[in-house]
Amino acid sequence: MRHDLIEQTENFVRHELGDDATGHDWYHIERVRRNALNICSEENEGNTFIIEMAALLHDIPDEKLNDSAEKGAEKLESFLATLDMSDEAKIHIKNIIFTISFKGGVKSELDTIEAKIVQDADRLDAIGAIGIARAFAFGGKKGQPIYDPDLAVREKMTIQEYRKGKSSSVNHFYEKLLKLKEKMNTKTASRMAEERHKRMEQFLEQFYSEWNGQS
């Protein structure tokens, strides 16, 4: 029964996100699900079914992948309406999805362990080697430079500036990715983030060294 719901959701998400090239493809979803279930089992906390469903659906209403935030929310809503599942579970899943997004650093308090775990899982996929790959893929798709020494790192910004302002993919590390390690909710994710954070720092060191004509 629960297995059927997971399978139904997988099929829907695969169909919706399959060929996305902004870093939100099906494999991002699979990695987030794996991270989330791994954190859940390490922490020995949280409802695995809710976590798995929320991980699978977390990018469905993203406004970047829909015509508008409202359209995205409708898409999620109409899919959930097709599922044979309690209203309570549906509300919990929606609540997780709408509270976890980063939105330029504005932090909304998360009230359930399931939300904390799915948020950690999504953030882990934005850092480390995978995070590096995704940042440059996203940047390329958006048409921003890999790096531009004349573009200053933006310290404080509104959601609009974060989404639309001029930046580079290297700047994105300072504006978001290097901050994520400190924002993990669970011990397990903090531990994983330490390793991934170091990989980004090493990458940036090597990047500047090559940029400056060094080995």
**23 makes contact with ligand ADP (CB under 6 A):** yes
**120 makes contact with Ni ion (CB under 5 A):** no
**Interacting residue with Ni ion among 16, 52, 120, 122 (CB under 5 A):** 122
Q: Which of 137, 115, 135, 138 has the alpha carbon at shortest distance from 189? A: 115
Pick the stretch among 11-19, 53-61, 106-114, 164-172 that binds Ni ion (CB under 5 A): 53-61
Q: Mention every residue, 6+ apart, whose C-beta is less than 8 A from residue 117.
A: 36, 39, 40, 43, 45, 46, 51, 185, 186, 189
CB of 44 to ligand ADP, least distance (A): 27
**172 makes contact with ligand ADP (CB under 6 A):** yes
DSSP of 107-144: PPPP-SHHHHHHHHHHHHTTSHHHHHHHHHHHHHHHT-
Structure-block tokens of residue 129? 């080697």
**Interacting residue with ligand ADP among 169, 185, 186, 188 (CB under 6 A):** 169
CB closer to Ni ion out of 32 and 113: 32
CB of 33 to Ni ion, least distance (A): 11
Report the C-alpha gap between 87 and 102 in whole angstroms.
Answer: 26
138 touches which of ligand ADP, Ni ion, none (CB within 5 to 8 A by kind)? Answer: ligand ADP
**174 makes contact with ligand ADP (CB under 6 A):** no
**Interacting residue with ligand ADP among 134, 181, 196, 197 (CB under 6 A):** 134
CB closer to ligand ADP out of 167 and 186: 167
Structure-block tokens of residue 171? 């700047």
Pick the stretch among 4-12, 81-89, 126-134, 198-206 that binds ligand ADP (CB under 6 A): 126-134
Per-residue x/- track, 59-98, ligand ADP (CB under 6 A)? ----------------------------------------
Neighbours of 53 (CB within 10 A): 27
Burial of residue 119 (number of CB atoms within 10 Å: 0-12, 13-18, 19+): buried
